[in-house]
Copies of this chain bind each other. A is one copy, B any other.
């Protein structure tokens, strides 16, 4: 295949590749907020991203919100352990946030839209909370971006179980590829999406361990009981798929996955 495609230079990706040392860097190193700015992190969960965010922007003030009290309790422990003083944690639903319109300079949403039945409405809600000219950053994965060697129908079916269970719960595990159209449809300006591909082969043993096994395969393995109970796979078929995913972590294996990061302005 040959083609000339002009304009292939993304400042985000350049900065990114210059700085990326870990997956956290790959996703977050190009996100930093000015001192004094007020940032809403919508859907902080247990605060895994919050620590990185708040460290990378020590002068910004973060309000990190999640609907789950249990997650927030864990986030609180993380913030305390990291001795972060610029994060305020609050419990609230993303569709009923207790903030005045235009009360934030920036909004950050990571691994959240994938769980929402109405991601577009969520983005519209968040837009209202943003001051004109303020930025929004959206990061989502896409399980349809996973492919590997050796290829395996069983592995693809096990992943498909996770995709279908997430869909049945109202979410969308394939939402990464939709970050651009969703942000544009929500009315954000100057939307720019950059993919963040995680490529793993055995010359990169930390990624084999940290991504292929402990992140992706562990996540798929986590839906085993639900997938079997929902009749989406037999125990044997599911376990064969998991074995095939671990097989891609061997010396001749390869694993690929892509995250999508979009930035836009109100």
Interface residues of A (CB under 8 A from B): 1-10, 13-14, 16-18, 20-26, 48-49, 111, 141-142, 144-145, 147-149, 151, 174, 177-178, 180-181, 184-185, 191-195, 197-199, 201-204, 206-207, 210-211, 214-216, 219, 251-254, 256, 258
What is the CA–CA distance of A141 and B253 in the complex, to the nearest angstrom?
17
Contact between B184 and A49 (Cβ–Cβ < 8 Å)?
no
What is the CA–CA distance of A142 and B178 in the complex, to the nearest angstrom?
22
Contact between A1 and B191 (Cβ–Cβ < 8 Å)?
no
What is the CA–CA distance of A178 and B180 in the complex, to the nearest angstrom?
30
Give the Cβ gap from A196 to chain B, nearest Cβ, in Å: 9
- A148-B177, A177-B256, A185-B252 in contact; A198/B17 too (CB < 8 A)? no
Is chain A's interface secondary structure helix, strand, loop, or mixed overall?
Answer: mixed
What is the CA–CA distance of A207 and B5 in the complex, to the nearest angstrom?
5
Give the Cβ gap from A152 to chain B, nearest Cβ, in Å: 12
Give the Cβ gap from A192 to chain B, nearest Cβ, in Å: 6
- A181-B252, A203-B191, A252-B181 in contact; A211/B23 too (CB < 8 A)? no
Contact between B215 and A2 (Cβ–Cβ < 8 Å)?
yes
